[in-house]
Structure 1
């Protein structure tokens, strides 16, 4: 029979025995050899010079395999009507005018789009020129690229939404003649070429925007109800009436 003291001594002996610990092998990680910088043999004066990188134009002009240079006459031609980037300016109208001017220029073995890319910067001034200068170097590769970036910059979606709303809510003004209202309505349509309104929608909107006298005048010209006519007949009647300035 074991006594309490014997059991206590046995436990102490077991606790006193050292634990067996397996040796721990630390593997050295793979270390890349340090990069040795190449010797910079520039002088102090050369190192202190301002950098010359990053000054390339945003527009990339395709290589022209012909003897060609821009004449002052061509530059002056596009500078006669420059785009400044004001809120009231229409970027679509500027592109249409620029295309009209450059379409008359023909040079052997030189694509017309290359001419457009070279001349377009001269058609900009003010904030519009600053915008182009801030575009990343060599970021505009084609004429379509340039038109897309130009339109998105100066005709954002919010502006299109506002113009579409103006067209939808169009109303003839007090003391505004028929032809003045028709001209103003068409100005809104031209200012928003991607409005998406069909000819039927346009004619219906304009007819319902008129005062009672001009509505009656259209009905009379139509020989009855104006809206009973086909769209092309309605458009003809409106154009005929708009030419009479005293009505």
Structure 2
């Protein structure tokens, strides 16, 4: 039981070819810092019942708030980085959402 996905598995879902998250347009180009990505990937949520999604989001936001990208809103960075914070069943959940399902951090 502890190794079951958080959500109900009795469903049929079609894989989507594109991301469920729509990244807002930015006025400038920027590159995600390597150490930022390393911290995010070190705090991945796997979607199992033993994991706490609220704790994951709290830690994700704490990490994201440590870095600032000039002339880029934090929401854009969060939306870009969030898929990297998921693995296993949680990543599958995100990948199975319809394209463009999520437009803002609040929706996520």
Shorter-chain TM band: 0.7 to 0.9
8 Å contact from structure 2 (residues 46, 86) kept in 1:
yes
Tell which has more relative contact order, 1 or 2 (C-alpha 8 A, sep 6+). Answer: 2
Counterparts of 1:139 and 1:60 in 2: how far apart (Å)? 8
Alignment of 1:160-199 (within 5 A): none
Indicate the RMSD between aligned Cα atoms, in angstroms.
1.1
Q: Give the 4+ runs in structure 1 shifted more than 6 A.
A: none
Q: Residue 66 of structure 1: SS of its match in structure 2?
A: coil
Q: Give the one of 79, 84, 89 matched to 2:51.
A: 89
8 Å contact from structure 2 (residues 23, 103) kept in 1:
yes
User: Is 1:66 aligned to 2:66, yes or no?
Assistant: no
Q: Give the one of 118, 123, 139 matched to 2:101.
A: 139
Q: Residue 122 of structure 1: SS of its match in structure 2?
A: helix
Give the corresponding residue for 2:92: 130
Give the corresponding residue for 1:75: 37
Whose Rg is larger?
1
Q: How many residues align?
A: 93
Unaligned runs of 5+ in 2: 1-15
Counterparts of 2:38 and 2:91 in 1: how far apart (Å)? 16
8 Å contact from structure 2 (residues 36, 63) kept in 1:
no
Unaligned runs of 5+ in 1: 1-53, 147-247
TM-score (ref. length: structure 1):
0.37
Counterparts of 1:83 and 1:137 in 2: how far apart (Å)? 21
Counterparts of 1:108 and 1:69 in 2: how far apart (Å)? 11
Shift of 1:113: 0.6
TM-score (ref. length: structure 2):
0.81
